[in-house]
Amino acid sequence: PLNWFLSGFLIYVVYSYFTPPPYQLPIAKHPETTIFREYTPKQLREYDGRTPQTKIYMGVCGKVYDVSRGRNFYGPDGPYGNFAGRDASRGLAKNSFEMDVLTPIDQPLDTLEDLDADEINSLKEWHSHFASKYEYVGKLVNESQYSS
């Protein structure tokens, strides 16, 4: 009787070892919903990616894009990190990553009227890049134009 018990136990262990565990379906999660809205430069500054949970938004040509997928580029330690949470239009047009080309957030939006033809073309190419790659989440407006 002991041999029968040990044989049965051995068969069970071998069977359990070679049988894959039952497949479990992953729990479906609804993607986070983003509501299209207007952003002032001060409100946009909140989306600079300073923590891993913070989204990264960037303004280009009056439009706001969610560039969180490109955290390696637009995050705090990325090469374009100073554009995160800001209107990056002038910096992109001039291909400059310096802070002095960015309009301070307490100033009205840059009208970009003094850009030359090459800078305008560069900005159009950048805008086209963002429009094709990232989600358009809002409009960038001055404090005086903000309609809550």
Q: Report the C-alpha gap between 132 and 148 in whole angstroms.
A: 28
Residue 19: in which H helix or E strand, if any? none
| 56 three-state secondary structure | strand
Q: What is the pLDDT of residue 148?
A: 62
Q: What is the pLDDT of residue 32?
A: 82
Neighbours of 117 (CB within 10 A): 7
Question: What pTM, to 2 d.p., does this model score?
Answer: 0.77
Q: What is the pLDDT of residue 10?
A: 92
Q: What is the pLDDT of residue 134?
A: 96
CATH number assigned to the domain covering 37-140: 3.10.120.10
Per-residue confidence in pLDDT tens, the chain, 148 aa: 788 889 999 999 998 888 888 888 888 888 888 889 999 999 999 999 999 889 999 999 999 999 999 999 999 889 999 999 999 999 999 999 888 899 898 999 999 999 999 999 999 999 999 999 999 999 999 988 877 6
Domain range list for the chain = 37-140
Distances (CA, A) of 86 to 15, 23, 136: 61, 46, 15
Q: What is the pLDDT of residue 48?
A: 94
